[in-house]
Structure 1
Amino acid sequence: MSLVFEHVTLGQRVLFGSGEAAGHLAKEVSRLGAERVMVIASEFELPMARRVAAGIDPVLWHTDVVMHVPVEVAEKARAAAAEHKVDLLVSVGGGSTTGLAKAVALETGIPIVAVPTTYAGSEATNVWGLTEAARKTTGTDDRVLPVSVLYDAELTVSLPVDMSVASGLNGMAHCIDSLWAPRADPINAALAAEGIRSLAAGLPQVAADPAGLPGREQALYGCYLAAVAFASAGSGIHHKICHVLGGTFNLPHAQTHATVLPYVLAFNAPAAPEAGKRIAAAFGAGTALEGLQALRETLDAPRALADYGFTPGDIADAVRIALPAIPESNPRKVTEANLTALLAAATAGEDPKTLTDL
């Protein structure tokens, strides 16, 4: 069979090096000719951001960062950028911080230099998300793609093991969802498989030696590949479900993705055998689900949505909101009944294998 596909590669500069973030940032600010830099970082990560920005002189430090980027928080950041005539945004932090910088760039076109401190992957995509009236809206726009990403594994060492695991499995979800998302193609699949392999190698090292850099470097590398694949392939069933759980029910982003992933994989893999084989091979396992579950067992990964405040009484609303957003191209037809079963299993933390026979 001949190969026929359309693939878009996003243009972005990536600088990777442990202990190099401050030097890389100073060079990027100079290269871009920026004179009025706004640094976005949460209060918690502000000390780290100050170290990263030691070689530049920002005109503004902005610390009002909120998970899922509420519209009012985005508007406040946009107003601050306009007031200070900002010509470059520097985000230092996880997905919420990068997301806020994207919300500013979406309306203003101000370029972003992203310095990630988790494995969220948002820094490598042109996807934005905003929450208003308990509904999360996402979209794509090249204005929100950071022009440069500075990866420094030293900045992730302070991320606790449980958050590192959840964040890394969020990256794994980018890989797996990319294999059946609306614009899945062979290039995305190759990136996703290498991302799975790298994350499966790196995350156990992070858990075993949280202060060690080799595992954290592998995890950062894997999550970058995951995000690039996801940016090209688009949002599949997993992300459509998790956007509802986060935006409507305010569940924590990384933990939600880490919890839902095995249920989506168990649900879809029987209907997507080639994707399943690729995932299994990347894990070095007999089946895709066996590989993922073995890794999750090693990492003591999040297990149940109920642990984060989601209840059986929330399922019907979640299904009603998520079902219309799930792509028609999903390899398995999604119905109200089987999506309800998927969320019920994820809420209780049941064995995902129960979904393969629905």
Structure 2
Amino acid sequence: MAICKILFFLLALCIWCGKCDVFYKQVGDEVSMKCGVDSNSNIEWKFNGVLILTIDGKSGNRRKGLSHIVLKASASGDILKVPRLETRDSGNYFCRQSGKQHIVHVVSVFVKPGPVLLQSSDAELHCDITGDPNKEVQWLRPNGQTYNEKNQVIHLKSVTSNEAGQWTCLVKDDLKLSVTLTVVGLQTTAVNASKGDDIELPCSLPQSVFQRVVGGTWKAGHLPKVSFPTLTNTPSKILHWNGKDLSKVNFTTGQLSTNFDVTLKNVQSTDEGTFVCTVEFDGEVRLSVETTLRVVDKHSGKTKQHLGCTLFIRTLSFILYGLKLWIWIAVGASSVFLIGLIIVIGVVIQRNKRMKKRVRKLRSMRQPLTDKDYCQCINSSYNNCYSVIEVLQHLFF
């Protein structure tokens, strides 16, 4: 807080004197500051009163100071450049020869507790301007509408999917910083099963969240005697199912993260109904999701066919590396067909080459005809023309 007061005093003083530049830069950006003296003059740069470096204008010799800025700053002529800005780089940069000051404010934007939020949880959006906490900023919602408050920190209560998306903090016309909010909830699907099967009841988060899971369980109002496990988070932050009765419900004994599925064993018609998965998080946030179980007769031909079709469709709709499974199958079948076609074309071309080579060879073996070799094929002299017919058979058959 004391540093902010000092920076505010210096800012007011340098603006009054007319020898001050004010920069608002995003974390990671670069700032360039000009001393305003001849390049042959001696130059001394300081950061918050601590020496950065001095440059001898005649010899060009340099002497580095003790400021942490020395590790990345560079000077060319009377210009000082500081790349890869961090929040600790905010402050007063002073060139002694010209008396010119440069006030640098490094701006950062982030979300508490994190950019991935649970439905119904609370969040804080920060657009922190180091050294200038009272400066007003303008927030833009994901839909482009302006937020009514102009504070650097805004509070969102019980977030929903309407708050999901890119929020933008406008510090100046040329400085816009954005942060993306992701709002997630529990996911599940309805399930079908045949009598006697073991069926998995799905309940999961699409991705990890920053809120810690502190408890949870499964419930089924129509099965009051069935014992479901409960979620337990140990002091060492290991989340697992806690339960002893495995006669009807089975569950993993390993560490959990985003998947809270359990398996209902040997399902019967009486098990059909609605099951509720509830997960509790830090901040007294509780999410619940319902899934419906439908139990059918295993010996029903139509039902089995229906389940088979449903399973087949769900299998084809399975997402693999960002694409549905049926797309991968179609691409694979097309590739096999194309490869087979290329092989057939290659075999035909090779066969034609061999036929042409054979014809050329037979033609090269043929003796040239003379006047005495000609014959006339009549019934009485058939044997005299046999040699000619044999050659023609070799050529064309």
TM-score by length of 1: 0.21
Using CA pairs under 8 Å that are at least 6 residues apart, name the structure with larger relative contact order, 1 or 2: 1
Name the structure with the higher helix share.
Answer: 1
- TM-score with structure 2 length normalisation? 0.19
Bigger fraction of residues in strand: 2
Bigger radius of gyration: 2
